[in-house]
Chains A and B, each alone.
Chain A
């Protein structure tokens, strides 16, 4: 783009936010149909998690041995499970587990990943080599296998499942941030900042970090559904959330033996996971369209 064009462009499009800015991206995201659908469902999940006690018609842990495996009805919208708990209420409380898993796993992956990526991309060559060798090693495992290996080391429980999924995601984030850091460090304005006496740490915080935001959001939209799916799988395998907790994967495995007699008890949590992951992927697709110009 020539200088004249870049100067002229904003004047022409005055009412709209600046092209490439965050408000512009947000506006485009709100117009993107797949982001709208995905975002709405996720908002609904968020709402359910926040107001679960008020939204849910019953106590998710209340056992009723007389009303076991009831089919869906007016009182039990989605029927009851093998000990007579209301499935709909359990699904609604399950949103809390789902969001907790996404939050903790992404925080661990993202937090350590960003830190290691910045150190590798912005620090000494030795640190870079060391960190990259470690990520190579971890990436040699298929993702689920790495998660299982970490669970095997830490021992199975809900918290270790979340930690395992989080740890297994670190190398991906670290690599992403490193590559952004290496690219940004070569930009001319960074060279200029360095020539003006800015320290490496200053450069990383002031120039590299802001540039990671957009690729980070795109990567987050890829990685979080995978992490959530893996955590649900761990619960399903009995290596994550345990029995009475209304976690969707755990609900599924407990109702599994009743597949032939009470399929709704299996289908409900399964569909819940599927819909939640699908809406995350839809939102991710929209985010990618808006933020990642290569993919258009």
Chain B
């Protein structure tokens, strides 16, 4: 198993009723790699990301992480158990943060480790402090989410995911809902994770960030991976017309 890719998606397809949103997608990600998925809205990039941790299970195809098949075909109860287990290895950060508003920052971070890893109060508190330090939010540990700005919320959400010590982090448009001036603080945290060689798959609209941070870029359109390569290739010398169109529109929009 050691030479198998860290993350592998094989022949992934997904439809909602008659609507096919993912069509025969293959993707491998090596440990420590950072992959950006870009593309117009409705291209299936979020669905692909959400298929990796079974939030939107594939219709067909396989998802593997570190030698374990995520989307195993099991009887309901076993499937639930399996999924609850493997999800602990997959951190996810959402566009709208999804912090738990009834818990403090500390409560948000300690909830899952306390319930699932059997850690003591002291251990989870240390864990929370350690992760909050990492995202520069330690001084807000006893605040409620309603008392934080969008950027702060997202940094806490990242710390919450990191506290489970995941093998991979998925970012689903983590900065899309933020005011422009708050984007940078979240980007900085993500860059820092990149420097620590966290494996990351990032769905983003920020071409600049993708270019700076990512090892590989996937351009998706209408459920297909249209183009794939290093940021230099995809952004500077795209071979597909659809990629060129998309980038042209996007870069115009930014100027």
Task: State yes or no: do A and B come from one complex.
Answer: no
